[in-house]
Amino acid sequence: MIKLNAVLVALALTLPSVLAQSPIYGQCGGIGWTGPTTCATGSVCTFGNPYYSQCLPGVGTTTSPPTSTVSSTSSTASTSTVSTPPPVVTGFVTTNGQKFELNGEEYTLVGSNNYWVGLMNFSPAEMSSAFADMAGAGATTSRTWGFDEVTTDPGIAYYQIWDGATPTINTGANGLENFDNVVAAAKANGIRLIVTLTNNWNNYGGSDVYVDQILGANQFHDYFYSNAQVIAAYKNYVETFVKRYLDEPTILAWELINEPRCAGSTSTASPNCTTETITNWASELSAFIKSIDSNHLVSVGDEGFFNFPNNPNFLYTGDMGVDNVALTTIDTIDFGTFHMYPFDWAQTTDPLGFGDDWIANHTVLVQQALNKPVILEEFGVIESQLDQVTAYTEWYNDVIKDGLTGDLIWQAGSTDVENANDGYMVFPGTSVYTLLTEHAAALKARNA
């Protein structure tokens, strides 16, 4: 479904011919790789995944599979990965004050949401093509879904299936092995992933499936955050997923849940749910992940609502059960997140100005106050609400001017991922995509 970006093909044809030997940390094999398969003295070609073998320091037997065994997978795969030598994915992204760092240098977190890559039926070549488009725009980071809760086998990718109260994690070809392909495709294109492990909403199952299956139908939504049996089941899923990628630098962060709130899509909040309910849960879950994985960052994935009870704007009063300052304060939460949808959030009088304030407020009241990185993790308008170029130009300028750590647009598509286009998707070749590309360059320049 994802077609190759013609621009990248054209670019590939203009690249100089490759070196006879790959340097240390250079690529030396993988699907579509037509460059050298031998490594500079002192390094050995090491198999990373089907898309990527790399020259790593050391001596010994090469572990790269012969390119010929994998290069015939499809013509799309072979053309999509030769366009640019991908940046090498080594080292884990860390934080230092309000910045992200990688191998001692500032890491510019900029890019897109691409929740769909590990869902649906995308082939490894299509996954790689999507990340290649993003890399072509200068993106460093993609946020994607590492979950899909089902009660009957949908015949396409899913990650956990429930039989009554008993969940079974799908480790097969359309389960975690499929996610292995997502990771490999990102890595082959030098893109790092923020992986969200469940959803507050019932898209792709999410938290209500845990509650419904374990406690029965028509329960309060927030039992996901407070019921011990439900928490144990979610921890089991998280542990399996996280342990599979403990040593994988392509994972930038594990994220606890997309957009936690006391209420769900159709399920309601119990009278007991407060901001403390979700904050306590986030403390417990983030500490749990840190106890099994000391390599990766952990974030919450909340929308960034504030908890100032007398503020006239409901986004600032804690009413949804979210206290962004309290969540970001948690020791085992490495960076803050916030989202921004002026029209979905009834901020229609002055949507651009609301965005200006929302970005400034998170920069000052969270990022600077807590001295942690904060990212505008999702934002968007649809064209019928407001011109996207106008809105995104304004808000991208705010990010740069205010000094916000980074941002991810909702959402950059590759060509023809129609099933995932919710009206917000921006495609290569459009003026919005050009803006995204210019912004990635500007943010990197700010951080240089």
Given the complex with ligand NAG, which of 365 and 441 has the nearer CB atom?
A: 365
The sign of the CA dihedral 129, 133, 138, 139 is negative
Is 344 or 357 the residue whose CB approaches ligand NAG more closely? 357
State how far the Cα of 56 lies from the Cα of 61, in Å rounded to an integer: 12
Residues from 397 through 416 that contact ligand NAG (CB under 6 A): none
Q: Which two tokens stand for residue 393?
A: 């130009």
Tokens representing residue 426 in the block: 């921006």
Assess contact for 205 and 149: CB atoms under 8 A.
yes
Residue 394 is among the residues annotated as catalytic for this protein: no
What single-letter DSSP state applies at residue 57?
Answer: E
| 368 binds ligand NAG per the rule CB under 6 A | no
Task: Find where tokens 């089991």 sit.
Answer: 236
Q: Among residue numbers 257 through 316, which ones bind ligand NAG (CB under 6 A)?
A: 270-272, 308, 316
Radius of gyration for the chain, computed over Cα atoms and rounded to the nearest angstrom: 22
In angstroms, the CA 159 to CA 39 distance is 38
303 catalytic per annotation:
no
421's torsion region: left (phi>0), alpha (psi -120 to 50) or beta?
beta
Give φ, ψ of 292 to 5 degrees: -110, -15
Q: Given the complex with ligand NAG, which of 358 and 424 has the nearer CB atom?
A: 358
Q: Which of 149, 248, 259, 377 is catalytic?
A: 259
Which C-beta is closer to ligand NAG: that of 104 or that of 271?
271
Rounded Cα–Cα distance for residues 415 and 426 (Å): 9
**Catalytic hit among 378, 383, 394, 418:** 378
Choosing from 317, 329, 361, 434, the residue that interacts with ligand NAG (CB under 6 A) is 361
Interacting span for ligand NAG (CB under 6 A) from 3-11, 81-89, 163-171, 354-362 = 354-362
Choice between 52 and 358, CB closer to ligand NAG: 358
- Choose, by CB under 6 A, the member of 1, 360, 370, 441 that binds ligand NAG: 360
Q: What is the smallest separation between the CB atom of 357 and ligand NAG, expressed in angstroms?
A: 4
Contact between 357 and ligand NAG by CB under 6 A: the answer reads: yes
Q: In the complex, which residues of this chain contact ligand NAG (CB under 6 A)? A: 270-272, 308, 316, 357, 360-361, 365
Catalytic residues: 259, 378
